[in-house]
Structure 1
C-alpha cells in the first residue's frame, strides 16, 4: 500500500514538475520528461482502469502545478476563505485531470497493433484530449503542450498551430520510450525541420514601422474598483497618455475603472485632447454598457470613435460570467469580483482603426484560443492583447500568458502588443520573440516601434482543422488495424 502510494505521489510530482518547462523558467526538456513519465506509467499499467488512474494522478499534479495561481484571485482578491480557495483549485485540477485520464483509457481501450500503441496511439490520444480540454464547456487551453515549444518548434506554428506543435513534441517523446535511437532521430529531425521552416516568410511587412506607447498603470487589484481610488486611477491614466510619445497609445483592460458611459465627459474630453495634441490614436480597454441596463461588455475602443468597439467574445467562466448559476451561484457569496456578468461579443468582429492602421483586439485570456484569434486577425496588420493580470499579482501567470501570446504571433505571422495593468506588458514580433517589455509591478510606459504585417499563414487559413483531421485519422486507423490483425 505504501509503495503504491509513493508511486502515485512520484507520478503526480512528475506532472507538477512540468510547470518549470513553461515561462518564466523555460526548462523545455522537462516537458518531454514529464510526458515520458505519463506515457511509461500508462504503458505498464496492467489494466485499462489503472492506466486511466495513472493519467488522472499525473494530470492532477500537472494542473495543480500549472494553475495554482488562481488561488490568488480567489483568496487574496476574491475574499474566499483559504481552505475553500485551495479546495476549488484542487477540484478544478481534478476536472482538468480527467482529460489525460481519458487519453490513457482510450489508448488501452482502442484495439490496435501493440507496436502502434506507445509510439503513436497514446501521444495522439493525449493531444486529442488536450484539444478537447480547450474546447469543451468553452474550454481551458492553458498549459497546452505546444506552448512550451514556442522556441524549440517555432517553425511549425505557422503551419499547424499549438496543437500541431504539441503533437509533434508528444510523438517524439514517445519514440524515446520505444528506443533511444528512434527518440534521438525523431528529436533531431523535428529541431532541424523547425529551424528550416522558420526561414519561410509567410507574411510580409505592410507599410512603414509605427511607434507605439503601451501604458502599464500598475494599479493594485484591491484598489482598482475602490471608489476611494477612482480619481487616482483617472489621474494615472491621463498622466501616462500625456507622457506617451507614440503614434498609437494603448491603455490596458478596463484601464478606467468605470463604464465608458459613466465616465465623466470632461475627463474623456481631456483624454481626446491630449491624444490629438500628439496626433496619436488612443486605444483603451473599457467596460461598455448597452442600452439594455442588464447588458454590458468587456470592451476595447478608440477614444475618438467609441461607437465602434471590440466586445470580448470568449468570457472567463466564474470570472466574467457564472456558468450554471443554479449550481455555482453559491460561490459568489464568497467572492468580491466586480462586473462578473458580462455579455458575450460576436465571435467575429472587425479590427479597430488607429488612423490607417488596423488592429485586431483581444482581451484577457482570449489569446489562449488560437483558432478563434486567427479569424479576427486576418484583416489586421497588428494584434493587441488588453489584460489585467493584477488578479494573479506575484505569480507566474503573467509570464505564462505572454508565452501564449508568442504562440499566437507565430501562428498568425503578426506582431502582438500586450497592454497589461501590472505586467507583463510587452511587444512580440511575428517570430514570437519579445522585442521590448516592461518589468512587472512598475508604473511606466513602454515606448517602441512595431511593424504591421500582411498576408496569411497556413494556420490563419485553415486553423486547427488539418491537425484535428490527422488526429481523428490515427484514432480511427488504429482500431481498424487492430481488428484486421486479430
Structure 2
C-alpha cells in the first residue's frame, strides 16, 4: 500500500465521525479493521509508530474542533489561535495511539492474532495513560462511541478503558475474518455478548423514596455571561425557570458559574455583604425543605483585602442562603482555569480563557456532601471532571447520585454531546445516576445504567422535572476495583499476544 501514513491520517479523521454529535459508531470498528491492516504491512517500527500517530492525529484534530470555539470568547487572544491549540494538542495526544501501534508491531508483526491482542491491550493502557499523565485529557476514549449502544452497560464490569480495548478487538476480529480466520470473530463476539448479559449490581426499577428534582437550563451564552450588568437578566431567567416552591421537598439544580459574583468573598465587608445578598436572592426561590445546588466562586482572604485563594465551586444552599456544603473543583483546566508558567505566558500575551487574572486553586478531590433529609448524599463533579474514569466518586462515602454542572457554552456544537456521552459512561461504571445542568445544553438526567432519561437540547432554555433515579443496590465491579481492571486486562492481552507471537517464530 502506497502512502500508509497518509491513509492512516484519513482513516483516523473519518473515525472521529463515530463519536457524537455525528454518532456513526460502526465507523470506529471499521477504522480499527483498517488500522490493523496498516500496522501488519508496516516495514519498520518507525513506520508503525507514524501510522498510529497519524491515525490519532486525524481523529483528535477533527473530534476536538470544539476547543477552537472557546478562543472566540477571549478578547485578549485572537480566534485563530484556537485552531493552533487544537493542532498542537492533537500532536501531543496522538503520541498515545502511536505507542500502542508501535508495541503491537514490535511484538506481533509475525502473527495477526498476536498483533490484534497486543494492540487491544496496549490501546486500553495508553488511553489510561492519556487520562493520567500531564494533568490528563481522556476526552473521547474509543468506548465513548458506544455510549448510545447497549454495550455501555459493560462499563460496570470492565470500565471505560477496557471497553475501548473491546472496540479494538471487534475491529480486529473483522480484519481476521477477511483472512478466513473466523474463530477469533466468534470468540470475541461471544465474549462481548457474555459481558453484555452478565449481571452487575442490580439497579431497582423504581426508587424507594420519591425525591423531586428540577434541572434548569437558562440558555445563557458565553458571550453574555460575563457582560457587565447581565447578572440581573441571568437572575431573572434562573428564577423564572426555577419557579415557586412546591408543596413537597424539591432539589433545584443550576449550572456551573450560574452566579458570576462570588458566593463567598472574604476580601472586604462590602464583598462579604454582596456574597450574602447573592446567596439569599438565589435561596428566596426555595421552600423550607428545598435545596439548591449551583455553580459559584469562592474567594478567601487572610488580610481582608487581598485574595489568597479562589475556587471554582459547587454550593449546596438551603433556605435563607445557608451554606449546607461546598465542593471545590479539583481537576482544573490548564489555560482555562489557570495559566501554567504564568510569568512566561503573560509576557508573550497569553491569558487564561475564563475571565479574571487570578488562577483558581484546586480542591482536594471527589467528595460527597450530606444534604440532609430526605436528600441524602450527593457526589459532585464540576464540568470536565466527569470525564476521568475511576476518579469521580469518594469510594469511602458513596453518594446516591452525582451532580455534574458544567459550562458547555464554550464548546460549540460538538463538545456538549461528546461531554454527555462521557458522563453516561461514568453513570454506567459507578452504578450511580448523573444529573447535569449546563447554561446552553446539553442538560440531562442519566440513570445508573447510563441511559438518558430526559434532556434539554443544545441552545434551548427549559427545565426538567424528574424523580431522582435510583442507584445500584451495591457498588459495581468497576466501582470496587477501579482502573485496576482495565489495566490488568490490558497487560493480560499483551502477554498472551507476545506468547503467541513467539510461538509463531
TM-score in same-fold range (> 0.5): yes
- TM-superposed CA distance for 1:452, in Å, is 3.3
SS of residue in 1 equivalent to 2:84: helix
SS of residue in 1 equivalent to 2:331: coil
Query: Could you tell which deviates more after superposition, 52-61 or 467-476?
Result: 467-476
Provide the aligned length of Structure 1 versus Structure 2: 480
Show the counterpart of 2:290: 280
- TM-superposed CA distance for 1:223, in Å, is 1.4
Show the counterpart of 1:254: 257
Mapped to 2, the partners of 1:86 and 1:419 lie a distance apart of 28
Within the candidate set 239, 253, 277, 1:266 is matched to 277
Show the counterpart of 2:220: 219
Matches within 5 A, 1:363-382: 363-375=382-394, 379-382=398-401
| TM-score between both structures, scaled by the size of structure 2 | 0.88
- TM-superposed CA distance for 1:329, in Å, is 4.4
Against the structure 1 CA distance between its residues 133 and 360, is the aligned structure 2 distance closer, same or farther, given a 3 Å change threshold?
same
- TM-superposed CA distance for 1:178, in Å, is 2.0
Query: Is 1:407 aligned to residue 425 of structure 2?
Result: yes
| TM-score between both structures, scaled by the size of structure 1 | 0.91
SS of residue in 2 equivalent to 1:137: coil
Matches within 5 A, 1:475-486: 475-476=494-495, 478-479=497-498
Query: Is 1:300 aligned to residue 331 of structure 2?
Result: no
Mapped to 2, the partners of 1:421 and 1:160 lie a distance apart of 33
Contact conserved, 1:71 with 1:86, CA < 8 A, in 2?
yes
Query: Is 1:312 aligned to residue 329 of structure 2?
Result: yes
- TM-superposed CA distance for 1:188, in Å, is 3.3
Relative to its length, the structure with more helix (as a share) is: 1
Matches within 5 A, 1:222-233: 222-233=223-234
1:119-176: CA deviations, max 9, x gaps? 2112211221111111111111111011112324223111111112111121222122
Query: Is 1:419 aligned to residue 433 of structure 2?
Result: no
Query: Is 1:11 aligned to residue 8 of structure 2?
Result: yes
Against the structure 1 CA distance between its residues 26 and 191, is the aligned structure 2 distance closer, same or farther, given a 3 Å change threshold?
farther
Q: Give structure 2 stretches of 5+ with no counterpart.
A: 265-270
1:379-406: CA deviations, max 9, x gaps? 211111110111113x111011111111
Mapped to 2, the partners of 1:178 and 1:115 lie a distance apart of 7
Show the counterpart of 1:39: 36
Show the counterpart of 2:26: 29
Show the counterpart of 1:456: 475
Matches within 5 A, 1:22-421: 22-77=19-74, 80-110=77-107, 114-150=111-147, 151-180=149-178, 181-182=182-183, 184-186=185-187, 188-197=189-198, 200-204=200-204, 207-243=208-244, 247-261=250-264, 262=271, 263-276=274-287, 279-292=289-302, 293-304=307-318, 305-306=322-323, 308-325=325-342, 328-329=345-346, 333=350, 337-339=354-356, 341-353=359-371, 355-357=373-375, 358-375=377-394, 379-393=398-412, 395-421=413-439
- TM-superposed CA distance for 1:469, in Å, is 2.0
RMSD between aligned alpha carbons? 2.6
Q: Give structure 1 stretches of 5+ with no counterpart.
A: none
